[in-house]
Amino acid sequence: MQIKKAIIPVAGAGTRFLPATKAQPKEMLPIIDKPVVQYIVEEAVASGIEEIILVTGSSKRSIEDHFDYNFELAALLKKQGKKKLWREIKDIADMANFTYVRQKGPYGNGTPVLNCRHLIGDEPFAVIWGDDLFVDKEKPRLKQLMEAYKKYSAPILSCIEVNDEGTTKYGVIDGVQVDKDVIQVKNIVEKPGPKRAPSHWASIGAYILTPDIFEVLAKTKLGKDGELWLVDAIFALAQKRPIYAKKIKGKFYDTGSKLGWLKANIDFALERDDLKDELKKYLKALK
C-alpha cells in the first residue's frame, strides 16, 4: 500500500531555545529565510506524501498560519511586481493537504501519534519530528524509508551510524543486520554509552509505522518521567512482528539544538549563490 499520510508532532515547548521560543514555536525558527518545519514538510512532499497532519499546541498558531494562504500579503507582492516571491509564498499552502490536531493526553512523543488514530485508519503512515533535518541531494530520507517498507512490508525506523560519543546521545539499536543498510530490531537501548552499546546504529528522526501501532500505544504504560513514549510501543510491537531500521544516507542536523541549528544555517548559506561568497570571506576573516 502506498504511503500518503505523514504525522509531524510540533507541540513541544522548545525549552532549549528559550527565550527565543517564549512566544514562537521552535519549528518556526528559520534556516536562512525558511522555517525548519517547512523543510520537513517539503521532504515529505518530495517523497510522495499528500496528507500532512501537524499535531500542535495552544502556542503553535503561527505554524497553522504559515501553511495557510495570506491574501493580503499575496496582493501586496503582486502590486509590487514581485511575482517570483508571490508564487513562492502561494506554493507553501499548495504543497499538500494540511490537517491540524491539538495534542491531548500525557506528555511524551507517543501521544501525538495516538491523537491521529482517527485520521490514519488502516493505512501505513510516516512520522517525522519537526526539528530533525536530513539533507541528501539524491533521495529524501523519507523516500529511503518508503523503499525499505516496500521491500519488508513492516515498520521501518530511520537510523544513522554514530561514533562512541554518539552512543551517549541517542537510543542505540540492538538487532541483526539483514542487508547492507538494514537491521532487524530486537531492542533499542537508550543512551547506553560505548561500553554497553549493542551497535553503533542510532535510532533517530523518522518512522514508517503500520496501523497496529495504535492498539499497542493505547495499552502502553507511561514510562520515563511519567510520559508516553513511542519507542516503548515500538519495542512492544517488535515482540509480535518484525521491525526494521534503515540506515539513512545524508547529512543530519539536529535543529532542535543551538549548535545543530547554527551548523544548518552556515551550511545552507554556503550552498546559496547570493550568500556564499560574502559568508566565506567572513568565515576566513575570523580569528
Interatomic CA distance for residues 185 and 243, integer angstroms: 6
Section 246-252 average pLDDT = 92
Question: How much is the pLDDT for 31?
Answer: 96
SS3 97: strand
C-alpha cell recorded at residue 86: 508571490
Asked if residue 63 lies in contact with residue 102, where contact means CB atoms within 8 angstroms, the answer is: no
Segment of 65-79, 130-144, 167-181, 258-272 carrying the highest mean pLDDT: 258-272
Q: How much is the mean pLDDT over the chain?
A: 91
Phi-psi region of 179 (alpha: psi -120 to 50; beta: other; left: phi over 0): beta
Alpha-carbon distances of 57 from 71, 130, 207, rounded to whole Å: 25, 13, 22
Q: Within 13 Å, how many C-alpha atoms sit on residue 171's CB side?
A: 22
Interatomic CA distance for residues 45 and 207, integer angstroms: 15
Homologous superfamily assigned to 5-256: Spore Coat Polysaccharide Biosynthesis Protein SpsA; Chain A (3.90.550.10)
Q: Where are the chain's structural domains?
A: 5-256
Query: Please, which residues bridge with residue 6 across strands?
Result: 52, 126
In the predicted structure, residue 185 carries a pLDDT above the cut 80:
yes
